[in-house]
Amino acid sequence: MHSDAVRARARRGPPAVTGTLILTAGVAVASAAPVSAAAGQAGRGGDGLRRDVDGLHRLGITGVLAEAHTPEGRIAARAGVADLRTGRPVPPGAHFRAASITKTYVATVVLQLAGEGRLGLDDTVDRWLPGLVRGNGNDGRKITIRHLLQHTSGLHNYLRDIPLLESAGYYREHRFDGYTPERLVALALEHEPDFQPGDTRPGGTPKWNYTNTGYILLSMIIKRATGKDWQDEVGARVIRPLRLHGTYVPGHRATLRRPFVRGYHQYGVGAPLTDVTLLDPSVADASGAMVTTLTDNNRFFRALIGGRLVPAPLLAQMQRTVPTGWDGPYEGSRYGLGLFWYPLRCDRAGYWAHGGDMLGYKIREGVRADGGWAVTVAMATQLAGEPAERQGMAARATIENVLC
């Protein structure tokens, strides 16, 4: 999930996909004894990653983990605490909510099905889900699978109507609410679309707006095409073949498998941190429900960009991008079919990623265009206000420092 989508501030990009929080001096983090550690390849690479991770922790992020895979080997670093209450240090190999990285898994399954001839990227939503997307200016006869994958459908983002980011009271009262895909889509269809599919901006580029609704519909199309839930297809086609032992779809399970780092959200600048670890992830479903680890995340993106999961012609379509129009930490970003592209100061080819924000968790990664170098940064705090943008900029700088 992305907070930009939730808060409908698309021009600035996702201020924090499920919450943003940065602590001012003296907030709870200061009372916990920080722990910093680095493992793996020694030398400038390890030292640099450790410095960047420590810098993120100093911004007020309770727990930070990072892991990179480079030609020189594996580098890992962590800082902070896994639990403000106990001061327990951040453990290696921790599970975290993958959030919108889930979309890249779902997109990979859809591209594989397209390669098998079981669906077409230019099939309409109505072809697979007849009559479902209708009313208030929404029309599934005009929206294609490609539109859903690329966020060019114009559909309203249903998460704007679920204010988990806006109120600690709402979170406490509704954190265990369960949702079905049909209910999530129905929330979106109560609204007019942001624009019509195929609409363009001045200059001729497609209109684009991040909407979790599209990936809920994709999960329903996967089930119609295969007879199986999206979770089963992701497991059979991606998780098990790549041996991603720390990656799973939790269903309605509100807790994370051990080891894990507790997630915290700041409901307003200067507000105390709220522990938001417990959450029924069905509120995100195929748009952001998965759980993973640093090692698994790097392995997945290296395999995808390296051409091991999707046939080359379809991977090329996946990497055909449109500009997002976001600024701040997302300046220069473009979006393909379930993938973000970012410019890289040392390489015109840039890097591929997705990243995600789930209440209390912010994950960022980057993979060089050849699929060789990869880095993932996981942060267990969503800061509020301008500090959240500093958090995003620092995370992007950490990724660039590894890839360059």
Taking residues 167-196, what's their average pLDDT? 98
Are 238 and 249 in contact, with CB atoms under 8 Å apart?
no
Taking residues 130-137, what's their average pLDDT? 98
pLDDT of residue 1: 59
Angstrom CA distances, 124 to 129, 140, 146, 154, 223, stand at 9, 7, 9, 14, 15
67: containing domain: 3-403
Mean residue pLDDT of the chain comes to 90
Which runs of E-coded beta strand occur in 226-319?
Answer: 264-266, 273-275, 291-292
Q: How many domains, the chain?
A: 1
Q: How far is CA 390 from the centre of its chain?
A: 18
Rounded to two decimals, the pTM is 0.91
The Cα angle at residue 267 between residues 261 and 270, in degrees rounded to 5: 100
Task: Grade residue 71 by pLDDT with cuts at 50, 70 and 90.
Answer: confident
The CATH number of whichever domain residue 389 belongs to comes to 3.40.710.10
pLDDT tens digits, residue range 187-232? 999 999 999 999 999 999 999 999 999 999 999 999 999 999 999 9
Task: Grade residue 72 by pLDDT with cuts at 50, 70 and 90.
Answer: confident
